[in-house]
Amino acid sequence: MWFGKKSERIKNTQTRAEAAAQMHAPREVAPPEVIERGSKAYDRIFKIQTNIEAKGPMDYRAYARDMWQFVTGTPPDDKNPNYLALEGGIIANLHDIPMEELVYPHVVESVAGLIKEYRDSIAHISLWSTGDVESTAYQSAKIYSSEIVQKFRQALITQLGPKEGRRMLQENTRWEVADNKFKNLVAYMGAVLAANDGPVKVIIIEDSVKNFTTARTYFDQAFGSDSERIKIIPIWATYSREGQQAKEKSKTSGTEPQFEETVRGLNGIASFSELLDTQRFGEILKDAHVFVDFDGVIGDNLRMRDAQASAILSAAVDALSHEWNTDRATAKTRILEKLSS
């Protein structure tokens, strides 16, 4: 959310695929392709992404290569305009997702109240997110198009006035969006540790439980014994995809008490608006450096994944219908059959 200094800038560069598309025959304008959430093909779309992320930062150019290889069974060729159309189509379609519609309403509704309650309490607050930044600038563009940054700035100036609002934006907020957000976290906290000798409190608001442990591991590796000065306080957004899946699993497996114990231990919130409860969170957030994840905490990552799957499938149908010289319906059937295999 919050966001005076940008660690990464959105890049406005023409892709190779856009250049190829200018030379390619005009393509029909078609509505986005829809894919059923939880189907084998849907899961495969994100399995391809998971495999890339397991090797390093997310890269949607690499995704296009792996998608082409998996669906066609042939290596991608940078001289093939249809392959370039797949690459460019995936990137363009992802950038065109109307992210403002995918922000949780309870987040937007809570922004002004959070500023009012904690403006003199929180030491620093950062929007903290990881994704494809260097290759395609998708993560940066996604957050910017969600307009949560703009809404926060507007609320801050409304609550504090133009002068004080802009001062707080510059001095007490930050935009930490990168291919690896933990490296940015370490860089920021290194400066904080160097500036004082006492303990430092870090609040991490996340949808993914494993990231609380990952943050501690990064601190320990980077700062050695100095890492002991950093107290991490987790806040788990249980309304996210991971939280909802864990809740449902606990019901079917009869482990609801253990789930609720985990939620309590991680200061779980079922809505972003729960942070307005000063009796519960006032002391926790006092003098803290707060890092708020985007996907799953601010943006609804269930509906976001639906939109991403649709964007990717639409690009594949467009490109491969030309590659196979067939109509879109036939191409879609072939693609879904392959993704479901």
pLDDT tens-digit readout, 48-102: 999 999 999 999 999 999 999 999 999 999 999 999 999 999 999 999 999 999 9
What percent of the chain shows pLDDT beyond 70?
91
Residue 170: the pLDDT is 85
pLDDT of residue 15 exceeding 80: no
Residue 19: the pLDDT is 41
> Measured between alpha carbons, how far is 26 from 33 in angstroms, rounded to an integer?
19
Residue 24: the pLDDT is 41
Say which residues have a Cβ less than 8 Å from residue 169's Cβ, sequence separation at least 6.
3, 4, 153, 156
Residue 119's pLDDT band (boundaries 50, 70, 90)?
confident
Q: Which residue has the higher pLDDT, 64 or 154?
A: 64
Question: pLDDT per residue over 124-137, tens digit each?
Answer: 999 999 999 999 99
Give the least confident one: 25-34, 160-169, 185-194, 286-295: 25-34
Work out the end-to-end distance of the chain between its first and last CA atoms, rounded to an integer number of angstroms: 40
What percent of the chain shows pLDDT beyond 90?
80
Residue 20's pLDDT band (boundaries 50, 70, 90)?
very low
Coil, helix or strand at residue 214: helix
Give the least confident one: 5-14, 108-117, 120-129, 304-313: 5-14
Question: pLDDT per residue over 219-230, tens digit each?
Answer: 999 999 999 999
Residue 22: the pLDDT is 40
Question: pLDDT per residue over 244-295, tens digit each?
Answer: 999 999 999 999 999 999 999 999 999 999 999 999 999 999 999 999 999 9
Residue 160's pLDDT band (boundaries 50, 70, 90)?
confident
pLDDT of residue 2 exceeding 90: no
Cα-based distances in Å from 295 to 1, 66, 103, 133, 308: 11, 24, 9, 14, 13
Residue 165: the pLDDT is 85
> Measured between alpha carbons, how far is 171 from 152 in angstroms, rounded to an integer?
15
Q: Which residue has the higher pLDDT, 78 or 26?
A: 78
In this structure, the number of other CB atoms found within 10 A of the CB of residue 193 comes to 18
pLDDT of residue 314 exceeding 60: yes
Residue 182: the pLDDT is 95
